[in-house]
Structure formats: C-alpha cells, structure tokens
Amino acid sequence: MELSKIRNIAIIAHVDHGKTTLVDQLFRQSGLFRDNQVVQERMMDSMDQERERGITIMAKNGAFLYKDYLINIIDTPGHADFGGQVECVLKMSDGVLLLVDAAEGPMPQTYFVLKKALNQSLPVMVVINKIDKPSARCDEVVNEVFDLMVRLEAPDHILDFPIIYASARDGFAVNDYKEQGKNMEPLFEKIINCMPAPKLDRSGHTQMLVSLLSYSSFLGRLAVGKIFSGTIKTNQDVVVTRDGVNLKKSRITKLYEFHGNEMQPIEEASAGEIVAVAGIEDIVLGETIADPEHPIPVSSPDIDPPTISMHFLPNDSPFSGREGKFVNSRHLKERLYKEALSDVALKIEPLQTEVGYCVYGRGELHLSVLIEKMRREGYEFQVTKPKVIFKEVDGKRMEPYEELTLDITEDSMGKIMELLGERKGALLDMHKGNDMLRLKYKITTRGLLGFKTDFMTQTRGMGTMNYIFWGYDTYLGEMKGRKNGVLIVMETGVTTPYALFGLQDRGRLILDPVEKVYKGQIVGEHTRDNDLVVNATREKKLTNMRAAGSDDATILIPAWKMSLEECLSFINDDELVEVTPQSIRLRKKLLDETARKQASRSGN
C-alpha cells in the first residue's frame, strides 16, 4: 500500500459521546461486511465489562478499505481513569477525530484528550455527533470547541479545523447540520481529504514502536504498533530496545494486518502501516522493535503519574480457598505483573510489612475494573480502602486534585453543594442550560472517593458526574470518613431470618437470610457511629407452648446490595473487601473482637 493511500486516525472524545458507535458505522458503510451478515453492536468493545458498563476500557485498532485507501481507526477510552491508554495510542496516529456531543458540548475528558493530541501536534477534525437530539445546539458547541483550543494554545493551522456533523446512531454525516443526511460518505471523503498521510521513510532501518499489547492463546503475546521506518518481514531477526543501549535479540514469527477488528496474516509490512507482531514474548509497551545493525529507539510518550493506591492481599479469611481457583500470593503476583505489562498507568510494588502488593492506578474505576477482571478469571484475594498518593514539594505536603463537572436538576442542587462542602470542594463555575444546572468544582481526590454513591442517591439517578485530574496542590488536612459504624458478626454460621429481623432496627443490612458468614464479617451498617458486634446466626427456640403474637410472619426489609465500587468506598482503614469469583464480602482486618479492642487501645 502506497504511503499516500494510508490514513491512521484516532477517535478521541469524552465518555459516552459515541466513539464506538461511530466506528461501527464506518465499518458497516465501508463495505467491510456482506449485506446479510449479522454484525454485533459496538463490536470494538470486546471485553465483558465494556459491554456491561457501556464504556470503552481498552484502546483497540481496526481497519477498513475505502476507494483504494487504507484507513486505520484507533478507538480510545473516554473515561479519565483510562487516560493512559489514550496517551499510548496517539503515537500510532497521524491525526485525530474529536467527537463532541451536540447537546453536552466539550466535557472534562474532551479537554484531557485534546490536550494530549495537541502536545503531539496532531491535526484535529471535529465531529459534532448526536445532531438528531432535540436539545442539539451545533453552532454553540463549535464555538465552545474553538474556545477550548484557544485555551490550550493550539497553533493557528490547527485552529482552522475542519468540521462535520453526524448522527452515529442513525448512520449519517453532513457538512451542514441543516441538511438531511443519507450515509457516512461525507465523513469518509473528509477523512481522505483533510487527514494527512504518514510522512515516513520506507527505505530506512526498521523501527516499530509498541503502543498496544494483545494476547493469543496460540501465539502468545502480540505487539501492536506503527512502523516508523523501513519494513518488517516474517522470520526477520530484530532487537527490542527502549534506550538504544540495552538490546534484546528476537525474531518475528508471525505478522498480521488489521481487517475490521480482526487480524489477517501477511508476509511483509512497510513504514506507515499499523501491524501486530508475534514471537517476542517479553516485550512491553513503549519499547521499539529495531534493526539489529542500527538499533535506534522511537521516543515513547510521557505517561501521567498514578494518583491512587490500594493493597492487594492473599485471602486469609475462614472461607479462603472455597470459591476461587487461584488463591495464594504467587498467583496474585503473576496476575498483577502481567496486567502491568499491558497497562502503562498501572504500577505494582511488593509490600514490606506483610504479604501482598501495592497497586497504583489513576482512580477508583481504574482499579475496580482490574479487581472485577481478576474475580471473573477465578482469583480470590482481599483489597484495602483506596488511598491517594501524596507528594512533598519544597517541604510542603501536596495532594492530587480533580476538576469535577456535575449536571443536576435544581431541586437537588442544595444537597449536592452541601455534600461537596463537607468534602472541601471549591465551586469554580455554575450555569444553567437545557433545564439542567452545570456545576464545576475543584476537589481533592480524597474528597471524591465514595462521592458517586451519595451523588446518585441525592439526584435519584438523574445526575451525571465527570472528572479529570487537575494537578497537585496544598494538602487540606484530615477529612471525615464514613459517619456510621458497622454491624459485625459474632460467630461463624448461617444467617437466619429470625436473627436478621431483630437486627433491622440496629441498622441497614447488607446480607440476606441463609448466607454463610464468619466471625468478624460485616453484616450491615450501624445507625450510630460505633461498631456493634451482633449475633446474625441466632435461631428461634422451638417450644410446645403457644402465645398470641409469637408466631407472626417475619418480614425483612430487602438487603442493601452494594456494587464493588460501593464496597471500596464504604470500608474504613481497619476493614477489607474480600473478593472471590462468587462473592464480595466485607470484613474487619482483625476478626477477633478482643484483638480489635487491644489494637484500638494501643492506637494501631
């Protein structure tokens, strides 16, 4: 394929602005599938969690042909917690499509991904998506995008960006939003005419930067990236390097190009093409596959540091090993370090004081997706409460801050502002539009932990919240944690309706009847601020004597079923979340009541 016929583009946007749906339409209307072929919706979202949560978690590459042009499309995550994926794959692209919702306009993550694209001087084409919405305001959104680019100090040639209007769901694009669209033809033409072809040397020495990692049970680890110079062939001897000095010899056993979201084997590929390479087992993100005679590395992008940490510990509860396949610390270590190879924003360190590992990530969602992934694979382990990462700058303690954007109704504004005030948030901006209030806050990452549950409760599920990393600033001192204590199981057994009925007045229960529990497990939230040890396994004593009212039906309030994210935000420092393939349990670190009292008296 000639260089002038190749287009490598990344689709970047805020979460839920329609990136994956747009890629689906481009694939369909390019002639990639037969007319009678059954095609899965959001086919680039290959992970189970991506389909369940409705968000993209891992960046992925696909390709299609249009009028003799090869168009490589890179679908990127829209959530701030997975920004490390975006930073890696932008190096593969020669231009970006910036998708913006025609009603919402630029959102926090739009700012983040656009900033990363401008840092690499990539040309930008703006796609105003969802123009079929009744509340669409296309002209205003275009002006907001322009203002955002000015704020990011974009050069003049990028400020003169091409614009196209689309409805990815309905499958059409138009040059003027007042026109009636038929298909995606205008977008295809704009990509070919406005996005540049790669300007690379095909006669030079081999250089390929690894930007994505995939895995095949047949071929092992697959390195995906763009060839920056020369050619790559099957069975070619290469070296892998990051700095040009430390070299690892290897050989290319298989070479693949992309067709849709699938891979097809090829014998040779040249500069400008995006390919997958097999045969290099220990390769990691950011390394360069190079010519053994001239090992010149390609500079890898800088990755923003993690802001949050969590301890992953082997499961030592009384129910350990009953539900999981991988239980011990060796299994945990292998799985965590394997994940760190394909996720550059994740850092792993062994703990010094106990058996386990400290995992650093970008946010609660980033780490909870990892926990859920491991749980589904059969791993059994425990995690601690998430903690933010502090810094010392000029002798002052600094902590990470987030820029929080909320869209809420007016009737919930008072309570939300009160909640954020308690969490030491500072209001930056407030304005009304489309019957919703938009609030912008600067808030510490600590203050944001666990806020989503309270937010969704107060807005009755009608509000939306988004945040991006703002930077490090002054430490704001101690912050209040959970207000209420917990109900702790007194002895191992099975919960009974009779015992739980008697505990309902004591607090909110999180377990149903006939569930196995162990001593030290948390069964509910106390109504007061202290912990209370309760008997959740007590059975009703049978007797031959009858009395009025003693045989009334036991009516239980449905238990509060917490999600994994809610469990992580609920626990305190002296508590753990036990994660197994079948259950998520909350427990005290010290299961014995006497040991907890001694630790409390000694201040540990």
Predicted local distance difference test score (pLDDT) of residue 588:
92
| Whole-number Å distance between alpha carbons of 495 and 483 | 26
pLDDT at 36 over 60: no
For 391-474, CATH number out of 3.30.70.240, 3.30.43.10, 3.40.50.12160, 2.60.40.1180 equals 3.30.70.240
Beta-carbon-side half-sphere exposure of residue 25 (alpha carbons within 13 Å) = 21
Q: What is the mean pLDDT of the chain?
A: 84
pLDDT score, position 358: 93
Question: What is the average pLDDT across 260-281?
Answer: 86
Q: Which of 21-30, 53-62, 145-154, 345-354 has the lowest mean pLDDT?
A: 53-62
Does residue 359 sit in helix, strand or coil?
A: strand
Q: Give 285-310 pLDDT, tens digit per residue.
A: 888 888 888 888 888 777 778 888 99
Give 522-545 pLDDT, tens digit per residue. Answer: 999 999 988 899 998 888 877 766
pLDDT at 408 over 60: yes
Looking at beta carbons, which pairs linking 501-507 to residues 24 or more positions away fall under 8 Å? Answer: 501/554, 501/555, 501/556, 502/538, 503/534, 503/536, 504/556, 504/557, 506/532, 506/534, 507/532
Report the C-alpha gap between 552 and 532 in whole angstroms: 27
For the chain, report the end-to-end CA distance as a whole number of angstroms. 66
Structure tokens at 511: 């377990």
Tokens of 357: 């590992």
Q: pLDDT-based confidence at 548, cuts 50/70/90?
A: low
Q: What is the full DSSP assignment across 376-442?
A: HTTB-EEE---EEPPEEETTEEEEEEEEEEEEE-GGGHHHHHHHHHHTT-EEEEEEEETTEEEEEEE
Average pLDDT over residues 90-118: 85
Handedness of CA 260, 261, 265, 270 (dihedral sign): positive
> Cβ of 501: how many Cβ atoms within 10 Å?
18
Strands (DSSP E) along 32-171, which ranges? 60-66, 69-75, 95-101, 124-129, 163-167
pLDDT of residue 51: 67
HSE at residue 7, side-chain half, CA atoms within 13 A, is 25
Do residues 332 and 312 make contact, with C-beta atoms less than 8 angstroms apart?
yes
Distance CA 58, CA 114 (A): 18
Give the contacts of 14 (CB within 8 A, at least 6 positions apart): 78, 100, 101, 104, 106, 107, 108, 109, 110, 113, 466
3-194: CATH topology? Rossmann fold (3.40.50)
* pLDDT per position as a tens digit, 324-369: 898 889 999 999 988 887 788 888 999 888 889 999 988 888 898 8
Query: Which tokens in the block code for residue 602?
Result: 């000694």
Using the predicted structure, report yes or no on whether residue 181 has a pLDDT greater than 60: yes
Structure tokens at 157: 């040639």
Instruction: Give the architecture (CATH level 2) of 207-290.
Output: Beta Barrel (2.40)
pLDDT at 219 (0 to 100): 78
Q: What is d(CA 302, CA 411) in angstroms, rounded to the nearest whole number? A: 43
For residue 547, pLDDT beyond 70: no
- Percent of the chain topping pLDDT 70: 94
Q: Does domain 486-602 have CATH number 2.40.50.250?
A: yes
Question: Residue 164: how many CB atoms within 10 A of its CB?
Answer: 22
Structure tokens at 488: 């702790």
Asked whether residue 42 carries a pLDDT value surpassing 60, the answer given is no
Can you tell me the distance from the alpha carbon of 25 to that of 22, in angstroms, rounded to the nearest whole number?
A: 5
Residues in the chain: 604
3-state secondary structure at position 165:
strand
Q: What residues have CB less than 8 Å from 15, skipping those under 6 apart?
A: 55, 77, 78, 79, 109, 466
Q: What is the pLDDT of residues 213-259, one digit of tens each?
A: 877 777 778 888 899 888 999 988 888 888 767 788 888 898 988 88
Q: Are 374 and 335 in contact (CB under 8 A)?
A: yes
Mean pLDDT value of segment 181-207 = 86
User: What are residue 11's DSSP bridge partners?
Assistant: 75, 97
Give the residue extent of every domain in the chain.
Answer: 3-194, 207-290, 391-474, 486-602
| H helix runs in 152-268, sequence order | 156-159, 185-194
**Rounded CA gap, 192 and 174, in Å?**
15
Q: Is the pLDDT of residue 205 over 80?
A: yes
What's residue 31's pLDDT? 65
φ, ψ of residue 360 in degrees (nearest 5): -105, 135
Q: Is the pLDDT of residue 38 over 50?
A: no
C-alpha pair distances (Å), 373 with each of 52, 57, 369, 564, 596: 12, 12, 6, 12, 32
Nearest to 141 by CA among 119, 116, 166, 117: 166
**Lowest-pLDDT range of 119-123, 222-226, 450-454:** 450-454
